[in-house]
Structure 1
């Protein structure tokens, strides 16, 4: 499957300081630029994909899919066995496989780690940066991940909270949020040359009647 099969192009790429965003897949390889630690593909989600995502939030049992391997028919079969209402979830499954394939191609790896989960509460509510090279994040339903421009970060506040540690956020109004459907590559502190510049981000607050359907993909 082509990694661009379900990733449409809508507009030109924009760069602001250390992040890049745009409506075409060409924005994602910009994560390899030294100055960039966030690349965001803005995309609307089609109705059939949203229907499959909604099916995962309406089931009584939470979806918690975790898988590692080649982004091929094995991943597709494992997803179809795990998702709720597989008959209505084909477009969702295909989108996950396409993104996994794109991730493997972009980072020249045979395997990827995939997690698709329904979230009823924030997984990482405190601002932090990941100790890994890079991660793909997309939210199908619910609020997207929140992140900070570098100018709004006090890195001395990162890590476990302790007495006297300063606040991480310098400017509350500077907090940014990814939108549902956005495909984001987050460069972490495990990326060689980016050890002190991992993107600072967190899980958003989830309301009492709100759920998230979150996909993360790591190159293995």
Structure 2
């Protein structure tokens, strides 16, 4: 085996355009695995239809992915008559998540947001989460070299800035599927991915999907 270079050691993310990139989250050094994907026209139209309604969306599910989950989601959409592509996409993602983590239970949230949900850089205390932004600005994250972990946690006047290099802030693409390790992943207690929610522009709304296995 060839020795790893310094660049290899510092690179804790994996990006790809195929679903095979997602299992790389199980590698010890990887804290972010992203499947890059554009939203097709049917899915884009379904998303626009939901955001075109004044009523917001706040849907939660915890249980097995499958027909019951998809039917429940369809009933809760602001524009269910135009939501088939979105329901099917979330169903496919949920089933893939259940398969990847060998679980029958998935926690799912789909919500519209017009403010930043978590505007401060932070780490999650859970093992892993999958997030995908269907519309609006997608999440931002920091490479480890740009993080001052002493600044994490509840803000205090004596804490240093979390961001050691503002020019290193990265952003996930709209439509991408991003698996993020948190501090609850065994062996990753001090290396949870540092990330935050961006602030939508005035009058803009995000449509955000989040899934937790188990």
Same fold per TM (> 0.5)? yes
Distance in structure 2 (CA, Å) of the matches to 1:197 and 1:55: 39
Could you say what secondary structure the match of 1:163 adopts? coil
Q: Secondary structure at the match of 1:67?
A: strand
Are residue 107 (structure 1) and residue 105 (structure 2) matched?
no
Match of 1:57 among 48, 51, 58: 51
Alignment-derived partner of residue 79 in structure 1: 73
2:137 to 124, 136, 143: 143
> Quick check: 2:56–2:78 contact (8 Å CA) kept in 1?
no
Please list every run of 5 or more consecutive structure 2 residues that lacks an aligned counterpart in the other structure. Answer: 1-7
Contact kept, 8 Å, 2:134 with 2:208, in 1: the verdict is: yes
Which residue of structure 2 aligns with residue 212 of structure 1? 206
Deviations 1:170-220 (CA, angstroms, capped at 9, x unpaired): 010100001101000000000000000000000001111211000000002
> 1:152: Cα distance to partner?
0.2
1:81-136 CA-to-partner distances (Å, cap 9, x unmatched) read 00122121100000001000000000000010000000110000000000000000
Tell me by how many angstroms 1:138 deviates. 0.2
Counterpart selection for 2:20 from 3, 9, 26: 26
Match of 1:68 among 62, 66, 76: 62
Structure 2 partner of 1:118 = 112
State the TM-score, normalized to the length of structure 2: 0.95
Partners of 1:140 and 1:196 in 2: how far apart? 30
Question: Which among 79, 89, 93 is matched to residue 83 of structure 2?
Answer: 89
1:17 aligns with 2:11: yes
Moved over 3 A (4+): none
Q: Aligned residue for 1:172?
A: 166
Q: Confirm or deny: 8 A CA contact 2:119 2:198 kept in the other structure.
A: yes
Q: Which runs of 5+ in 1 are unaligned?
A: 1-14
Residue 139 of structure 1 contacts residue 180 of structure 1 at CA under 8 Å; is this kept in 2?
A: yes
How far apart are 1:157 and its partner, in Å? 0.1
Contact 1:145 1:203 in 2 (8 A): yes
For the Cα contact (< 8 Å) 1:56–1:118, is it kept in 2? Answer: no
CA distance in 2, matches of 1:135, 1:96: 15
- Equivalent pair of 1:187/1:198 in contact (CA under 8 Å): yes
Determine the C-alpha separation between the residues in 2 that align with 1:209 and 1:123.
Answer: 16
TM-score (norm 1): 0.92
Aligned length: 206
